[in-house]
Amino acid sequence: MTTQALVKGQVYEQEVEELKRIQRQNRRDSFGRAWYKFSANKLSVIGLIMVVTVILLAIFAPLAAPYPNHVKPFVDYNNDKAAPSAQNIFGTDQFGRDILSRVIYGFRFSLMMGAVVLTLVVPTGVCMGMVAGYYQGTIIDTVIMRITDVFLSVPPLILALAIASILEPNLTTSMIAVSAMWWPWYARLVYGLSSALRTEYFVSSAETIGASTWHILFREILPNMVSPILTKMSLDMGWVIIIGSMLSFLGLGVQEPQPGLGTMISKGKDYLPDQWWISIFPALAIVMVVLGFNLLGDGLRDLLSAEEV
């Protein structure tokens, strides 16, 4: 092929700039389109607001909490089990600590739980599932997916309990426990997606061009799985927080005097129904976080679905 004869014009710096401008404009346009889709469902927007609120409260907890020192060892028997009032909006607990402050700090532990677990779980599960799906029908597939099945066959909460009780019960071990039971779900999801994608012509095309397996997995297949993975992550964030709180409730997670939401419910349940605020407000806080992430997840699903608007 005579390359020269086919060149119709030279590339000028100016033209490259112009092309970059178009690229930026495309990005802006797709952002507007995405927001249009997302905001079509009011519940998704509410979910987003809830999630953002919780995250901001967690980050700025020292500023947002009226009594930051109540999350440290602190006792004030003069003011214990006080009902909600202007001083203590959510009331105080059996040691006289401000529940609102402890709930705000509690978000920190919950969100950290979710974030750490997902950062451990998602890359592991995605890589395992993606490789197994791409090599569907081979020995690689069999080995990976049987390991996954083993993990899936153990009842998740029992696995978590076992791990958390073998190791020292604290936030770290509960995160390890939840991660161990969680990654196979990502492997499963991604396995299905990846084995479907590998038969797409664009994958065949990359193979026949001679692209490396690395390129095919991470550049061709992975980007097409981002939407369902993100959606699942958002929904899972809520679930992980619930499980984390459950472990705390059972005494296997966040330990006193740290303000875990589950721990707070657990301690507060002894004072039900008379001093209901001690356990009900932390419970509502969990509901808010979980509901927020679920609504956000639904919104993301709408947003990332292939349907054009």
The rounded distance, in Å, linking the Cα atoms of 189 and 81 is 47
Candidates 122, 134, 125; CA nearest to 213 is 134
Report, in Å, the least distance between residue 27 CB and other proteins: 10
| Of positions 210, 214, 273, 274, contacts other proteins by CB under 8 A | 210
The rounded distance, in Å, linking the Cα atoms of 236 and 230 is 10
| Of positions 220, 237, 258, 290, contacts other proteins by CB under 8 A | 220
Task: Please tell me whether residue 205 binds other proteins under the rule CB under 8 A.
Answer: yes
How far, in Å, are 38, 177, 224 from residue 170 at the CA level?
38, 11, 38
Task: Please tell me whether residue 37 binds other proteins under the rule CB under 8 A.
Answer: yes
Interface of this chain with other proteins, residues 130 to 149, rule: CB under 8 A: none
Task: Please tell me whether residue 206 binds other proteins under the rule CB under 8 A.
Answer: yes
Report, in Å, the least distance between residue 19 CB and other proteins: 6
The length of the chain is 309
Task: Please tell me whether residue 16 binds other proteins under the rule CB under 8 A.
Answer: yes
* Segment interacting with other proteins (CB under 8 A) among 53-61, 130-138, 207-215, 253-261: 207-215
Report, in Å, the least distance between residue 190 CB and other proteins: 15
Q: CB-based burial of residue 155 (10 Å sphere; 0-12 exposed, 13-18 middle, 19+ buried)? A: exposed
Candidates 159, 154, 303; CA nearest to 227 is 303
* Segment interacting with other proteins (CB under 8 A) among 26-34, 230-238, 241-249, 295-303: 26-34
Size of the site for other proteins (CB under 8 A): 38
Rounded to the nearest 10 degrees, the angle between the axes of helix 99-134 and helix 226-249 is 130
